[in-house]
Amino acid sequence: MNPTGIYYAFFAESAELDWHGWIERAARAGVDILECSGPQMLRLNADERGKIARHARAVGLELTMAVCLTDSADISSDEQEVRNAGTQLLMDYATIASEMQIAVIGGILTGVGKRFPQGIERTREFVLRRAMPYLQTAARHAEKVGVTLAMETVNRFETPLLHTAQEALDVVEAVNSPALGILLDTFHMNIEERSFAAAIRLAGKRLVHFHVCENDRSLPGQGHIPWKEILAALKTAGYQGRVVIESLAGPYGNLPQRLNIWRTFCTEPDVELTQSIRFLQAQWEALQ
């Protein structure tokens, strides 16, 4: 079974951050990885980040990091200053990840979620080409500090730029850096890909991170995503990397507006997470 993890926000019940509590809960649930937030780590000082990293290692957890760009720091912007700031932000994420011994960071690396510039349907290829030199600069820095950037394909309701494995592959191959790869997510694939297995095989060796959740963002095993097909494709593709559950238990804080989460998915999050991990493990074992 590949190393399996959980996105930190699954445990959150309010806007209050409890990294050390979430680390303990993740360890008790039986996962291998806790995926933390790049923007939240930026708000902490080095000592606080170091304590989080050491705590995770002490209980046997690896950390990965989810990141994003902003309106004022976006490598796909039509403003040079904003593109420069976006490059610096990606480099800052990579530096912090390296200091915390985080090997992979992923998210929407080109563009800002839910921002749809006028006429982007006619200019998206040009925008991606314009972003590539800045992505190359960020990737060179990531390579230097020993971190891999995982560029996520996201559904059309959250970005106008990269929706499919083919589109991500085109960018990754054009940038041509060992520190830049593809992040696929079953939630987004369920909307944009015609075949889960074909998309995974297409990403192939460029696939460096993988998110799993059900069609409604509930835990694997609670919806209609074809896990047997997906896990078999990962095995066939030779993917031995991390598989992180990016499910959400329910709305809290600004999550409803940010991710359109309006209802509760889990009534007993910790219990249901453990059940989901066992479900995935059984699916993996059935392929042996």
pLDDT tens-digit map of 24-33: 999 999 999 9
Give the range among 43-47, 162-166, 248-252, 279-283 with minimum mean pLDDT.
248-252
Q: Is the pLDDT reported for residue 255 higher than 90?
A: no
Give the range among 6-15, 176-185, 226-235 with minimum mean pLDDT.
6-15
Q: For position 149, what pLDDT does the model report? A: 98
The pair phi, psi for residue 244, each rounded to 5°, is -110, 125
Calculate the dihedral angle through the C-alpha atoms of 73, 76, 80, 85, rounding to the nearest 10 degrees.
20
Confidence grade of residue 259 (pLDDT, cut at 50, 70, 90): confident
Calculate the dihedral angle through the C-alpha atoms of 109, 113, 117, 121, rounding to the nearest 10 degrees.
70
Q: Span 162-175, mean pLDDT? A: 98
Q: How far apart are CA 179 and CA 173, in angstroms?
A: 12
Find the domain containing 137 and state its range: 4-286
Q: How far apart are CA 48 and CA 282, in angstroms?
A: 37
- Residue 109's nearest CA partner among 49, 62, 177 is 177
Q: For position 220, what pLDDT does the model report? A: 98
For residue 70, give the H/E element and its range: none
Q: For position 31, what pLDDT does the model report? A: 96
Q: For position 109, what pLDDT does the model report? A: 98
Q: How far apart are CA 212 and CA 239, in angstroms?
A: 14
Q: Is the pLDDT reported for residue 103 higher than 90?
A: yes
Bridge partners, residue 100, by sequence: none
Identity of the amino acid at 168:
A
Question: In the chain, how many domains are there?
Answer: 1
Q: Span 90-113, mean pLDDT? A: 98
pLDDT over 90, % of the chain:
94
Q: Span 109-116, mean pLDDT? A: 96
Q: For position 252, what pLDDT does the model report? A: 85
Q: Is 158 helix (H, G, I), strand (E, B) or coil?
A: coil
Q: Would you say the pTM of this structure is higher than 0.95?
A: yes
Q: Span 104-128, mean pLDDT? A: 96
Q: How far apart are CA 130 and CA 124, in angstroms?
A: 10
Q: At what angle do helices 120-145 and 80-99 cross, to 10 degrees?
A: 40
Q: Is the pLDDT reported for residue 15 higher than 90?
A: no
Q: Is the pLDDT reported for residue 181 higher than 90?
A: yes
Q: Is the pLDDT reported for residue 163 higher than 90?
A: yes
Q: For position 254, what pLDDT does the model report? A: 81
Q: What is the mean pLDDT of the chain?
A: 96
Q: Is the pLDDT reported for residue 14 higher than 90?
A: no
pLDDT over 70, % of the chain:
100
Q: What is the CATH number of the domain that holds 47?
A: 3.20.20.150
Residue 40 DSSP label: H
Q: How far apart are CA 152 and CA 135, in angstroms?
A: 13
Calculate the dihedral angle through the C-alpha atoms of 156, 159, 161, 165, rounding to the nearest 10 degrees.
-60
